[in-house]
């Protein structure tokens, strides 16, 4: 039986890794991208597809659609609903969606779009698989240069712990669940095998760089202002500071090891991701 798999946001960081993970398992997925020419180097069929104007014609013949959540925060839930409607019109057999750890039980501002999307998937009647992704370890590596330079990683998470995993680990979970129809109707809480606090992360960065680095936890409003001072848009800075505050109460900690069981290997330690980034 054929299983034509298509991936939205295929030229994004997670999309590219998911395409690679599927290819390594012998599949030839279809890359859906707003600018298909950016996907030309992947060696797979490409189709033009935009979350904001999702065309059912681009999903013709697709059995399994991997809906990677949009990185445009203006109306993310609205965009996802358009994709789901297009999938229904194109008679897509199943949707695999990258949601957020703990779903409706996650109080983070960033979780709201995912909660709305999960509800839309349920209402659609399309069989679906929910991959509730925790934090990517790479979320922390972008600012390492500044952290090492200033000797500090800042946040608002106090002693809260995050069970992060590398983006490639989550990409492998996409490949595993997209290839096997028995994952329909399942919800997976995905996170790293080990969890770390801000202080743990600072110690890892200090060891890898050979420079002193400490973790400085500050009130949410101060952290948001600091992020805006680094050039982040106000809305995004507020959302990130809100996320960090929820980390303090366990929103991104999970010790189920579901991700490592799903991909058949331990998740990538954050020290490895930090070392690679440095």
Phi, psi of 39 (to 5 degrees): -100, 0
pLDDT of residue 72: 84
Long-range Cβ pairs for the range 78-81 (8 Å, 24+): 79/51, 79/52, 79/54, 80/51, 80/113, 80/116, 80/117, 80/120, 81/116, 81/117, 81/120
Asked if the model's pLDDT at residue 228 lies above 90, the reply is: yes
Strands 196-197 and 64-67: unpaired
Average pLDDT over every residue of 230-245? 93
Q: In this model, does residue 1 exceed pLDDT 80?
A: no
* pLDDT tens-digit map of 173-197: 999 999 999 999 999 999 999 999 9
For position 32, what pLDDT does the model report? Answer: 97
Q: Taking residues 80-102, what's their average pLDDT?
A: 98
pTM of the shown model: 0.96
Using one digit for the tens of pLDDT, what is the confidence trace for 35-71? 999 999 999 999 999 999 999 999 999 999 999 999 8
Radius of gyration of the chain (CA): 19
Average of per-residue pLDDT values in the chain: 96
Which residue ranges make up each domain of the chain?
5-134+167-190+255-265
Strand spans (E) along 53-176? 64-67, 94-100, 128-133, 152-155, 161-162
Fold observed for domain 5-134+167-190+255-265: Rossmann fold (3.40.50)
Residue 252 binned pLDDT confidence (cut-offs 50, 70, 90): very high
pLDDT of residue 146: 87
Rounded to an integer, the average pLDDT of 242-252 is 96
- Contact at 8 Å (CB) between 262 and 134? no
Question: Cα separations (Å) of 196 from 136, 158, 162?
Answer: 13, 12, 5
Q: Please compute the mean of the pLDDT values over residues 163-179 and round it to a whole number.
A: 98
The residues with which 30 forms a beta bridge, in sequence order, are 6
pLDDT at 247: 96
pLDDT at 138: 95
* pLDDT, position 87: 98
The rounded distance, in Å, linking the Cα atoms of 192 and 230 is: 28
């Amino acid at each position: 039986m054929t299983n034509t798999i298509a991936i939205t946001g295929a030229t994004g960081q997670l999309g590219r890794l998911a395409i690679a993970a599927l290819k390594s398992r012998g599949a030839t997925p279809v890359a859906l991208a707003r600018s298909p020419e950016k996907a030309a180097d992947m060696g797979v069929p490409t189709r033009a597809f935009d979350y904001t104007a999702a065309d059912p014609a681009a999903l013709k013949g697709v059995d399994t659609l991997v809906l990677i959540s949009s990185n445009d925060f203006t109306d993310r839930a609205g965009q996802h609903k358009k994709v789901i409607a297009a999938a229904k019109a194109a008679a897509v057999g199943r949707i695999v969606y990258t949601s957020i750890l703990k779903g409706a039980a996650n109080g983070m501002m960033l979780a709201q779009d995912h909660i709305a999307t999960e509800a839309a998937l349920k209402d659609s009647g399309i069989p679906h698989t929910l991959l509730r992704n925790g934090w990517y370890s790479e979320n922390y590596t972008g600012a390492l240069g500044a952290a090492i330079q200033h000797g500090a990683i800042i946040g608002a998470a106090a002693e809260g712990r995050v069970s992060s995993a590398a983006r490639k680990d989550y990409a492998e979970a996409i490949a595993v669940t997209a290839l096997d129809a028995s994952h329909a109707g399942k919800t997976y809480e995905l996170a790293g095998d080990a969890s770390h606090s801000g202080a743990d992360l600072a110690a890892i960065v200090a060891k890898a760089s050979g420079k002193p680095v400490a973790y400085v936890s500050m009130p949410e409003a101060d952290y948001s202002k600091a992020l805006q001072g680094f050039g982040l848009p106000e809305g995004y800075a507020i959302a990130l500071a809100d996320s960090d505050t929820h980390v303090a109460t366990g929103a991104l900690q999970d010790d189920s090891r579901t991700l490592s069981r799903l991909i058949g290997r331990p998740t990538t330690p954050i020290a490895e991701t930090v070392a690679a980034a440095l």
